[in-house]
């Protein structure tokens, strides 16, 4: 059991003792009560020292934990609360505490689909209830993008456990280009989130090629203990080093892309680079800039460029410039 948890158990025990005014509590009584409480939680004898309980009382009296407990002594040897109604379990939550709790609960809730966080669910519910009772109407300071209606989220935990325990999975997968699903045995290496969608990266059993599967295209999945799970020195950082997005094309060499960014979008691109390889080539007098990146040519990089519309112009390579021009021409034709 962690030391900080032991301390919390002792604080709660001392608090419970001092609330009981039907008996007098000496320091030795508090030591025995703390030892008994830790034995109940740990199942083994724990000798709590006199110094430990003295420091606990000092900590409870202080503002370090927000308690400010009014612990007093009388007759030079007995401990009690000066206020009969005081208890550390009813410490009011401050405005700052409330803000922190609200945003922390919201962020933790994003991971509810992982069993790793299942033990937190009860705590989260208690925090949400406490927040509700303290203030019925709170406006979040941090707003996190989420979509609970996304397909495939129910597969997150199965895949997470498969990767953690190194177990192969058998799944039915239907890509956007296929008319029907195909069954395959898959060795999952990592889970990756991109653009609010989840992907699993690994390889098909019997193949050396790395595949990226979208979770929303998986129809069903189950663990397959009959297959030996092997991992071929896969390193996610190395694998995605030269890629924007999630699609790594094994047969695609790196291309150097030069793009002109207009004045309005230049600050955005400079403060949030497209890729770690991004370099500033030229600053123009009109406020626009020329940047370069070196990545694989994939679907995601085209979507990124097209998303800027007239705010970006591809200078080179010629092939990518032609593809972007063709996409924009088709888009313009839709409005003519």
The Cα 333–Cα 327 span in angstroms is 10
**What mean pLDDT is predicted for residues 263-272?**
94
Least confident of 142-156, 173-187, 190-204: 142-156
Does domain 3-89 bear CATH number 1.10.10? yes
Least confident of 69-73, 103-107, 207-211: 103-107
| Residue 224: strand pairing partners | 168
- Residue 252, pLDDT > 90, answer no
pLDDT bin (cut points 50, 70, 90) of residue 94 is low
Least confident of 23-32, 126-135, 143-152, 213-222: 126-135
**What mean pLDDT is predicted for residues 296-311?**
93
Fold topology of 254-333: Alpha-Beta Plaits (3.30.70)
Longest C-alpha distance within the chain, in Å?
Answer: 94
Q: What is the pLDDT of residue 104?
A: 63
Residue 320: CB atoms within 10 Å: 19
Fold topology of 153-239: SH3 type barrels. (2.30.30)
Q: What is the pLDDT of residue 2?
A: 44
**What mean pLDDT is predicted for residues 67-78?**
91
pLDDT bin (cut points 50, 70, 90) of residue 105 is low
pTM here is 0.58
Most confident range, picked from 24-28, 112-116, 128-132: 24-28
Least confident of 51-55, 147-151, 274-278, 321-325: 147-151
Q: What's the pLDDT tens digit per position in 191-224?
A: 998 888 889 999 998 888 889 999 999 999 999 9
**What mean pLDDT is predicted for residues 84-113?**
64
In order of 7, 30, 131, 156, 238, the CA distances from 95 in angstroms are: 26, 33, 11, 35, 44
For every residue of the chain, which 3-state class applies, written as one string?
CCHHHHHHHHHHHHHHHHHCCCCCECHHHHHHHHHHHHHHHHCCCCCCCHHHHHHHHHHHHCCCCCCCCCEEEECCCEEEECCCCCCHHHCCCCHHHHHHHHHHHHHHHCCCCCHHHHHHHHHHHHHHHHHHHHCCCCCCCCCCCCCCCCCCHHHHHHHHHHHHHCCEEEEEECCCCCCCCEEEEEEEEEEEEECCEEEEEEEECCCCCEEEEEHHHEEEEEEECCCCCCCCCCCHHHHCCCCCCCCCCCCCCEEEEEEEECCCCHHHHHHCCCCCCCEEEEECCCCCEEEEEEEECCHHHHHHHHHCHHHEEEEECHHHHHHHHHHHHHHHHCCC
pLDDT bin (cut points 50, 70, 90) of residue 147 is low
For residue 163, with 0-12 CB atoms within 10 Å meaning exposed, 13-18 middle and 19 or more buried, which class applies?
Answer: buried
Scanning the structure block, which residue is given the tokens 């800039």?
A: 289
CB 86 within 8 A of CB 70: yes
Q: What is the pLDDT of residue 4?
A: 65
pLDDT bin (cut points 50, 70, 90) of residue 1 is very low
- Residue 300, pLDDT > 70, answer yes
Backbone angles phi, psi at 77, to 5 degrees: -150, -10
CB 311 within 8 A of CB 265: yes
Least confident of 41-45, 61-65, 68-72, 140-144: 140-144
Domain ranges, ordered by start, for the chain: 3-89, 95-134, 153-239, 254-333
Look at residues 3, 60, 14, 18 and name the one whose alpha carbon lies nearest to residue 36: 14
| Residue 295: strand pairing partners | 255
């Amino acid at each position: 059991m962690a030391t900080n948890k032991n301390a919390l158990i002792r604080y709660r025990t001392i608090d419970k003792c001092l609330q009981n005014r039907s008996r007098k509590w000496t320091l030795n009584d508090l030591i025995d009560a703390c030892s008994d409480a830790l034995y109940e939680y740990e199942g083994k004898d724990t000798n709590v020292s006199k110094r430990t309980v003295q420091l606990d009382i000092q900590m409870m009296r202080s503002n370090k934990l927000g308690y400010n407990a009014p612990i007093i002594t009388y007759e030079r040897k007995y401990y009690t609360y000066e206020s009969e109604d005081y208890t550390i379990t009813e410490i009011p939550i401050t405005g700052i505490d409330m803000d922190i709790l609200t945003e922390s609960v919201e962020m933790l809730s994003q991971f509810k689909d992982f069993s790793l966080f299942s033990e937190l669910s009860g705590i989260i519910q208690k925090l949400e209830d406490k927040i509700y009772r303290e203030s019925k109407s709170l406006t979040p300071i941090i707003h996190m993008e989420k979509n609970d209606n996304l397909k495939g989220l129910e597969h997150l935990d199965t895949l997470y456990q498969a990767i953690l325990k190194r177990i192969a999975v058998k799944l039915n997968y239907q890509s956007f280009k296929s008319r029907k699903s195909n069954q395959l045995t898959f060795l999952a290496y990592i889970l990756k989130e991109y653009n609010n969608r989840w992907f699993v990266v690994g390889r098909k059993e019997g193949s050396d090629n790395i595949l990226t599967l979208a979770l929303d295209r998986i129809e069903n999945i189950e663990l397959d203990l009959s297959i030996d799970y092997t991992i071929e020195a896969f390193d996610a950082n190395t694998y995605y080093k030269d890629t924007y997005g999630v699609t790594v094309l094994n047969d695609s060499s790196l291309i150097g892309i030069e793009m002109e960014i207009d004045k309005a979008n230049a600050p955005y691109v400079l403060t949030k680079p497209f890729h770690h390889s991004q370099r500033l080539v030229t600053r123009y007098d009109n406020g626009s800039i020329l940047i370069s990146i070196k990545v694989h040519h994939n679907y995601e990089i085209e979507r990124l460029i097209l998303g800027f519309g007239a705010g970006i112009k591809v200078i080179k390579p010629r092939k990518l410039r032609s593809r972007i021009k063709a996409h924009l021409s088709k888009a313009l034709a839709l409005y003519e």
